[in-house]
A and B are shown apart, each in its own frame.
Chain A
Amino acid sequence: MVAGAWFCLLAPLAGALAITLAGERISRRQAGLVSTLTTFAAFGGALVAFVAMWAREGAEREQLSTAYTWLAAGDFEVGLQILVDPLSAVMMLVVSGVGGLIVWYSLGYMAGDDEERRYFAYMSLFVFSMLLLVEAGNLLLLLVGWGLVGLASYLLIGFWHHRPEAVAAAKKAFVMNAIGDATFALGLVLLVWQARTLELPAVLEEADGLSGTIVTLVALGLLGGALAKSAQLPLHTWLPDAMEGPTPVSALIHAATMVTAGVYLLVRAHPIFEAAPDVQHLAAGLGAATLLLAGLVALVQWDIKRVIAYSTMSQIGYMFLAAGIGAYGFAIFHLVTHAFFKALLFLAAGVVIHHLAGEQDIRRMGGLRAALPRTHVAFLVGTAALVGLPPLAGFWSKDAILASALASGGALGWTLFSAGLLGALLTGAYAFRLYYAVFRGPPAEVTPEPHGPEAAHEPAHGEGPLSMLVPVGALTVLSTLGGLLSVPGVWHPFTHWVSETAEALVEPSTGEDYLTSLAAVTLGLAGLWLARRAFVSGRQLVTSPGAWRALEHKLYFDELYDALFYRPAAALAGALRREVEEPVVERSLDELGAGTLELGGGVARVQSGLLRTYALAVALAVFVLVLVFVAVR
């Protein structure tokens, strides 16, 4: 079991190193193959670990394996160790499985790019980092993985570094994530101080013994990290811009795996959050707020990838909501199904972009159903799964979350439930708006000139090579069937599996489940109907110009942060430069230099080269010294 997990962790690292060290000795295609094969090898390792775990029972399924002690300070030790338990096994399977499919897809998608080797090395690095994050056996190692996925995300968002927008987006993602990383690290410092360990099962058991203030601060710190990584309010502004990266990167990092790391953290560290219920409820509230906000903004976006990015934020909002009310199994379940259907949507969108030679604006798309029949089916399945139409994956997982919110009751439960239902309506509207705009209606003219960020790709590929079609097909199947792992009233193998690591706090009854499903599906279909009506009549979903403008500006969050943080900081820096740096620091240094030069010029005049002057000076000096000695005595 442990061997499989170690293999799973190290295979992508080996791939990244091999591609980096081989350099130009292997062809670009071979680099892609190395990356794909090592990622699938990692999936094999994860499967081995999973099957071995399946055969065991209860506490036997959880195992901590230490390779060596990395840091030791007194009785505080941090090792290079991995924790293999049901939760990390699920994450390993998702990360390496979906990751493998997406890297494979990249073989076709990135063909012809100038720097494929760099791309695949980064992708392998990302898969390794993400596996390190989910397998980490202590919170410090988790933070290492947390930082490394941020780095890989930065590198891949800015992959097309000749585009200023891509570089700016990469920087923005890095800075926003750095805020979260900092609060995360501060939380860990508090834990080291108070709990005296970071080892994973142990530190969580300590959570109850900590004082209320400390545990609240620790939970806030971890929540800050989770909010930044998962692009939730108020640290969400980086994710839409991150769409500047290649589409498979958006699928892997900014939809399926990295952005859900925050949910994983909430579930993994659930005892800490349970000891600080206010923070946990805050997480649920922020999730609900994000899912509404992202759903609203998605209604007016024109960029195909940005719409999907906002839907990702919205769906992660559902996961935060679930983790916040203690429905951990359903949070992870939605994470998994979301990884399937959101990766599918991105990859299908990638086929569309590929076909249109880099076009991303849905106003210039339309009627692609005829040209891309298979992609059309895949995209439709992904959209329906996103909206939560039965029997697709999203239906089972999202409705279970809403039912849990209903079951948790109270004012909070009802608020979250209503927000989630409203979110279902919004999801139906924006998802089908996108579908109709891209695939229905009269065929749009294919732009003759390649343009946009992905312009490197040659136009009119049809549906692309086999390496693109097969992963899309596999994800279509997974998005269709993935939800059957947990059917209310019938069986719950998935949630039972996860509950061994994180016991759920709420358990919806079967009645609540079906009631919720009825409401959510009705609202989802209502959203579909709205989108269809708007499409047929040629109007937009948001008709009020004021609301449109506000949503187009993403509710002014960027402008707000600009005014709140950037401008004051820039003004302060400018003032310091003008008032302190220039007059005090620079001037004093200039004066020092000029003074030294002047002094040197004066002293140099003494060195005349006249021997007799020197002799006179020596004689006079001796005379003075003699006088001094005599006088002192």
Chain B
Amino acid sequence: MSGPGIGWYLIVAALLFGTGALGVMLRRSPLIVLLSLELMLNAANLTLIAFARQHGSLDGQVFALAVMAVAAAEVAIGLGLIVAMARRGLPLDVDQASSLRG
């Protein structure tokens, strides 16, 4: 086992997660919100892989693959929604899209 210790990985992951969370909470563009979500998911992936390496087990890496699949699906749907919103001329602002009515 070489390279930086587990702590560094966790710090990077925490920073990534914090950035993502702040992006979700502070930005109003749905596109940026979606990107921030991806950041948070990947921060989680990073911790999973880091721990998997430390423990010498493949479980965490397999789980990271599953998270990526979920993330891909989520992005596909999310982007689809955003495109649909744009096509209908709705404002691309999560604060204004506050009701389920179209």
Contact = CB atoms under 8 A, between A and B. Distances in A.
Interface in B19-57: 21, 24-26, 28, 33
B98 A619 contact: no
Contacts of B28: 612
Contacts of B21: 615, 619
A370 interface: no
Residue among B24, B26, B33 with the highest chain A CB neighbour number at 10 A: B24
A612 B25 contact: yes
A615 B25 contact: yes
A609 B98 contact: yes
Contacts of A610: 94-95, 98
B70 to A, nearest CB: 18
Nearest to A610: B98
Nearest to B33: A611
Contacts of B25: 612, 615-616, 619
A608 interface: yes
A335 to B, nearest CB: 81
Contacts of B97: 609, 611
Interface in B51-102: 94-95, 97-100
Interface in A580-633: 608-612, 615-616, 619
Number of chain A interface residues as a range: under 10
Number of chain B interface residues as a range: 10 to 19
A615 B40 CA distance: 13
A610 B99 CA distance: 8
Interface SS, B side: loop
Contacts of A619: 21, 25
A608 B25 CA distance: 15
Nearest to B23: A615
A610 B24 CA distance: 12
Nearest to A608: B98
Given A619-B21, A619-B25, A612 B94 contact: yes
A51 B98 CA distance: 94
B23 to A, nearest CB: 10
A188 to B, nearest CB: 66
A619 B18 CA distance: 10
Nearest to A622: B21
Contacts of A616: 25
Contact of A615 (B24, B98, B99, B100): B24
Contacts of B95: 610-612
B92 to A, nearest CB: 13
A612 B94 CA distance: 8
Interface in A302-354: none
A612 B23 CA distance: 10
A612 B98 contact: no
Contacts of A608: 98
Interface of A: 608-612, 615-616, 619
20 contacts: A609-B97, A609-B98, A609-B99, A609-B100, A610-B94, A610-B95, A610-B98, A611-B33, A611-B94, A611-B95, A611-B97, A611-B98, A612-B24, A612-B25, A612-B28, A612-B95, A615-B24, A615-B25, A619-B21, A619-B25
Interface of B: 21, 24-26, 28, 33, 94-95, 97-100
Given A609-B98, A615-B21, 15 more contacts: A609-B97, A609-B99, A609-B100, A610-B94, A611-B33, A611-B94, A611-B95, A611-B97, A611-B98, A612-B24, A612-B25, A612-B28, A615-B24, A615-B25, A616-B25
8 closest Cβ contacts across the A-B interface? A609-B98, A611-B94, A615-B24, A615-B25, A609-B99, A616-B25, A610-B98, A612-B25
